Amino acid sequence: RRMHALGYQSELQVERSEINVKTAESNVEILETNLDVLERLEKEKQLETLKGEWESAKAAANGHEEVLAMDGERMALAKKEIARCVIKAPKSGLVIYPSTAQWKDTPDIAEGETVHNDQVLLLMPDLSKMQVRFGIHESAIDQVKPGMHATVRLPNKTLSGTVASVASVAQPSGWWTGNIVKYDSVIELPSAEGLKPGMTAEIEVTVNRQENVLMIPLSAVEETDAGDFCWVRTRDGAAQRRLLRLGDRNTEFIAVTSGIEEDDDVFLNPSLTVKEARKQPVVVGSLP
């Protein structure tokens, strides 16, 4: 209008310019309103997105906390199990592995082997109360009784002991024992230096003691239906068959109460060494 007042523009041009200004101002207001609405919508959208991300992160955190709690329980259990794997000796002494069954090719206790509940892993023997475990053949089981005297020969010494127990049930037999039936027995030993678990021993149990008894080797005796005989070398060198009356025996010798005399020369294995013995009807018996 100032331009119109000065005569530079017409009134129509002025009005047109005013309309253009108002239109531009209106457009600015509309754009500002749209911008404000857009900003609010974008904020709400971003807020929803962030809220979803927060909830997802919270769920993941809760899951990790549960996993952490379970891992903590497993770790505590593992620590207890590891602590239980440490075996402490209740006293000073010698620690040994338990004996392996005869039919097994590998030991029960070895690195990497699996163990089971109630399995014996280690033993601490009382060296002041040592015992000898041995098997008695079924043919001699009736002769050995608890309380009998025994001589135990070790690699470096000989000890006297006492039969403490004799099993009433035989050991399991099979190919690993040669199908030989034996009964477990225990001999108690006195305290002595140098005794170690697992040492080998030779056992001699005194089942009966007789003084001034005439004895001959079992291999010199023939058992027949007619009786027990042996062959004696006479003064002229001939072989003479003698009827015997026998007494107690052990694994090597048998007592003779009549039939021969001291210093008589008897033949061993007469069926093989005496020509006349081969002509006799002999039934060989089983001697223990």
In tens, the pLDDT along 155-191 reads 888 999 999 999 888 877 666 556 778 888 999 998 8
The arithmetic mean of pLDDT across residues 79-108, rounded, is 78
Q: How many helices (H) and strands (E) does the chain have?
A: 3, 11
Mean pLDDT of the chain: 82
Asked if residue 273 has pLDDT above 90, the reply is no
- Decide if 176 is inside a domain: yes
Q: Does residue 52 belong to any structural domain of this protein?
A: yes
DSSP designation for 267: P
pLDDT of 106:
63
pTM over 0.85: no
Integer Cα distance of 74 and 226 in angstroms: 82
- Choosing from 155, 187, 205, the residue where a domain stops is 205
For residue 122, tell me if it sits in a domain: no
- Range of the structural domain that residue 275 is part of: 215-279
**104 confidence band (pLDDT: 50, 70, 90):** low
How many structural domains comprise the chain? 3
Task: State the CATH number of the domain containing residue 247.
Answer: 2.40.420.20
257 and 228 assigned to the same domain: yes
Q: Which two tokens stand for residue 150?
A: 């025994």
The continuous run of DSSP H or E covering 55 comes out as helix 11-85
DSSP conformational letter for 153: E
pLDDT of the residue at 164: 93
Whether 26 and 74 map to the same domain: the answer is yes
Which of 47, 82, 117 terminates a domain? The answer is: 82
Looking at the fold, whether 231 and 184 belong to one and the same domain comes out as no
Tell me, yes or no, whether 220 and 267 share the same domain.
yes
Tell me, what CATH number does 181's domain have? 2.40.30.170
pLDDT for the residue 267: 93
Using the predicted structure, report yes or no on whether residue 130 has a pLDDT greater than 90.
no
With respect to residue 265, please indicate whether it lies within any of the assigned structural domains.
Answer: yes
Q: What is the pLDDT of residue 244?
A: 93
Looking at per-residue confidence, does 94 or 17 come out higher?
A: 94
Residue 177: what pLDDT? 59
Q: Are residues 140 and 195 in the same domain?
A: yes
Question: What is the predicted pLDDT for the residue at 101?
Answer: 63
Residue 156 lies in a domain: yes
Do 244 and 230 meet the contact criterion of CB atoms below 8 Å apart?
A: yes
- Segment 120-133 shows an average pLDDT of 85
Name, of 100-109, 131-140, 146-155, the range with top average pLDDT: 146-155
Instruction: Looking at the structure, tell me whether residues 171 and 197 fall in a common domain.
Output: yes
Tell whether 189 and 229 lie within a shared domain. no
Greater pLDDT, 222 or 125: 222
Residues 221 and 262 in one domain: yes
Q: Is the pLDDT of residue 152 over 90?
A: yes
Same domain, 145 and 199: yes
Q: Supply 68's token pair.
A: 């952490």
Contacts of 1 (CB under 8 A, 6+ apart): 14
Q: What percent of the chain has pLDDT over 70?
A: 86
Question: Is residue 49 in some structural domain?
Answer: yes
Examine residue 123 and state whether it is found in any structural domain, yes or no. no
CA 65 to chain centre: 41
Domain-located, residue 95: no
- What's the pLDDT score for residue 185? 92
> Do 195 and 231 belong together in one domain?
no
If asked whether residues 193 and 223 sit together in one domain, one would say no
Same-domain pairing of 198 and 222: no
Q: Mean pLDDT, to the nearest integer, of 42-67?
A: 82
Q: Token digits for 53?
A: 């991300």
**Boundary residue ending a domain (205, 233, 252):** 205
